[in-house]
Amino acid sequence: MPEGPNGRTFYQRVVQATPGGKSLAQCLQCGSCGGSCPSGPDMDHSPRQLFAMIMAGMEDEVLSSNTPWHCVSCYYCTVRCPQQIPITDLMYTLKQMAIARGKYRESGHVDFSNSFIGMVERFGRSFELGLATRYHLTHNPLKMVSKGTLGLQMMVKGRLSPLPESIRNMPQLTAILTEAKRIAAQQEV
């Protein structure tokens, strides 16, 4: 199996970079994770397939997959996994590794992720209207009409803001994000 930094296999690096990651070895390939996932239809590989690929040392294929980038961190798979595997956290590890190896561009979905991060860094929160518009324009423009009607109804009821709104204490959040980036830069994945 190909080895990476410090002579560790891809599987070992994924496990060591994820809290509770050792339990990945207990995966039963039962498919409950993929069956629970709201983003499943958009993913190249189900979480179950991705884990089998990690065990097979398919580093390039795994880090180029769009699967982690479609994960919306709902944790539904994690609470349903019979082996208590930290599936959502594994998705974060894979995203981190894909960025570190420059593989994220091949997944084709990092722009969406960057848009979200840019909004959080600028306003302290997501701007749903801007994010949803960008997502549907680039991924599913045919759905724009039906989603646009829903968006208008939500705006009328005050559930969707037409403009981005900033949180009150942005300097405090900026300091937290700066420290988080400093810590992340020190971690080897």
Which residues contact ligand SF4 (rule: CB under 6 A)? 27-33, 36-39, 47-48, 51, 71-77, 81-83, 85, 87-88, 91
Closest CB 123 distance from ligand SF4, rounded Å: 24
Closest CB 117 distance from ligand SF4, rounded Å: 17
What is the number of other CB atoms lying within 10 angstroms of the CB of residue 25? 12
| Residue 182: its H or E element | helix 170-186
Which tokens is 80 given?
A: 């349903």
Concatenated DSSP letters for 57-115?
T-HHHHHH-SHHHH-----HHHHH-TT---HHHHHHHHHHHHHHTT-HHHHS-HHHHHH
Q: Cβ closer to ligand SF4: 47 or 124?
A: 47
In angstroms, the Cα distances linking 54 to 7, 25, 97, 102 are 16, 10, 12, 18
Q: Cβ closer to ligand SF4: 52 or 173?
A: 52
Which tokens is 107 given?
A: 């997944």
Q: Cβ closer to ligand SF4: 15 or 77?
A: 77
Closest CB 10 distance from ligand SF4, rounded Å: 17
Q: Cβ closer to ligand SF4: 85 or 98?
A: 85
3-state secondary structure of 18: coil
Closest CB 90 distance from ligand SF4, rounded Å: 8
